[in-house]
A = this chain, B = another copy of it.
Amino acid sequence: MNKIKPSLAKGTRDFGPEEMELREYVINIFRNVFDLFGFRSIQTPSIENIDTLTGNYGDEGDKLIFRILNSGDFLKKSDKNDFKESLLLKSKISNKALRYDLTVPLARFVSMNQDKISIPFKRYQIQPVWRADRPQKGRFREFYQCDVDYIGTNSVVCEAEIIDLVYTLFNKLKIDGIDFKLNNRKILQGIAEVYGLSNDFNDLCILIDKIDKIGLEKFEKELIKKGYNSKSVRSITELFNFNGSNLEKINFIEKIISDSEIGMDGIKEIKKLIEVNNNFTIDFSLARGLSYYTSSIFEVKSNKSNIGSLCGGGRYDNLTENFGLKNMPGIGISFGIERIFELLKDKEDPFIEFLKNKILISYLDSKYLPNCFSIAKKLRDENISVDLISDDIKLKKQLKYANKNNISYVMIIGEDEIKSNSYTFKNMENGTQVKNSIDEIIATMKSLKTNV
């Protein structure tokens, strides 16, 4: 066997113990909150048939799908002529690919399991996806997505619950300065109708979505370049700047778009939401880029960070139509979980301090090992994490091992200690040490847990 230089595949990452502790802690909080709100977890396979995936993400998206080479004699279905035509050859040598997102697998899952699931179907899904993107800072070829959806309901309960879920989640993650911004595509359509900008509504939404980056002035210029009336365009940007409470905003826009039936539908929907949960901010300049949203749209940022959108989503009408299942409206929210990991990594993180509450058992001679095992067992029976030094190394090196592995306490076992049931118990955080019985040590460790 030849020796090879170990390396990672382009655009992929290893996660060592430190990173995994953060990631698992955060994912646990996500799971707990989703569970608190009655959402249930599903998982779909990493590999999907190629037909399931292609055609959903546009031409550019389709190019980013990682295809898997057929196994066995992968050339058996192709002949020499296919070789000239790479697209044709591709379809013959590869019939499956890696998951590109969690939305299309959800649509496939719902279509295949309509008899088994109960409607509304409330699911969440936290899994990696793969994209053959050019890797760059912060952009990887494998990354996690985290989606929460209601399938099969038009009820305003969904928006109201999602708002509470978002605040609960970020509260538990100790990310503050959260603002839940909401708009309604129907109101945007009303605005477009009234000002004569309905020609290509989807293009308009994509352009509105860019205002954050390009600014209002450039936005106006782009619209005027497209041939729209400059007065109308100015009216729209003025409207985007309107300030006030949610009700004031609704009253203001109602006068402007009263002639648009669909616009008034949108207003009715927001009014209904305000009655049950008014804990959000209407933002008429929120558009979201994706074309499949049909009603409520929303996005969440923290005003304490410039990391960008932390989550966003909206209502859609036809998630499963491609798979032949009609009348399945829904609403979804997608959390930028990788971005949230990054945000929390940079914070001082007292909230994962408790992870460090482990004890390293260190012994002065290996003849005490049987005693060490019985002490370890006692502590573990009390649900206290214990690591045990395995090799004959000096105490100094043992303490270094504790530091490197985020272990905050070291317990030292020797002849006298065993005889007197009084063990040296060293706090690695502040350097202090005391003599304690095993029961005292258990009590100390338990008090740390309840203080979290």
Contacts and interface: CB of A to CB of B under 8 A. Distances in A.
Interface of A: 1-10, 12-17, 20-21, 23-24, 31-32, 35-38, 40-49, 51-52, 55, 63-64, 66-69, 71-75, 80, 83, 86, 89-90, 93-94, 96, 98, 107-109, 111-113, 116-118, 120, 122-123, 128, 130, 132, 141-142, 150, 153-158, 160-161, 164, 168, 275-277, 321-324, 358, 360, 369-370, 373, 376-377, 380, 383-391, 400-401, 404-405, 407
Contact of A389 (B72, B157, B358): B157
Nearest to A78: B83
A323 B2 CA distance: 9
A323 B46 contact: no
A24 B31 contact: yes
Given A69-B67, A90-B69, A142-B46, A1 B276 contact: no
Given A2-B55, A46-B142, A157-B389, 12 more contacts: A1-B322, A20-B40, A21-B41, A36-B383, A38-B386, A47-B130, A71-B132, A75-B89, A83-B83, A118-B405, A160-B369, A276-B373
Given A49-B9, A118-B401, A323-B4, A38 B358 contact: yes
21 contacts: A3-B324, A4-B51, A6-B323, A8-B45, A8-B48, A10-B96, A15-B44, A20-B41, A20-B43, A36-B380, A38-B360, A38-B407, A47-B141, A66-B71, A67-B69, A75-B89, A118-B401, A153-B390, A155-B390, A275-B370, A276-B369
A292 to B, nearest CB: 12
A7 B112 contact: yes
Contact of A74 (B42, B55, B90, B111): B90
A37 B386 contact: yes
A99 B45 CA distance: 15
A147 to B, nearest CB: 14
Nearest to A324: B3
A220 B405 CA distance: 50
Contacts of A156: 369
A9 B45 contact: yes
A385 B35 contact: yes
B46 A128 contact: yes
A86 B360 CA distance: 55
A43 B72 CA distance: 29
A330 to B, nearest CB: 11
Nearest to A69: B67
Contacts of A90: 69, 74
Contacts of A89: 75
A173 to B, nearest CB: 16
A391 B153 contact: yes
Nearest to A125: B20
Contacts of A63: 71-72
Contacts of A116: 16
A380 B37 contact: yes
B276 A14 contact: no
Contacts of A93: 69
Nearest to A38: B387
A423 B142 CA distance: 49
B142 A45 contact: yes
Nearest to A113: B16
A370 B168 CA distance: 17
A20 B4 contact: no
A226 to B, nearest CB: 27
A7 B158 CA distance: 29
A166 to B, nearest CB: 13
Most buried by B among A10, A32, A38: A38
A112 B38 CA distance: 42
B41 A17 contact: yes
Contacts of A322: 1, 3-4
Contacts of A155: 390-391
A370 B49 CA distance: 45
Given A150-B390, A373-B160, A390-B155, A404 B47 contact: no
A98 B12 CA distance: 12
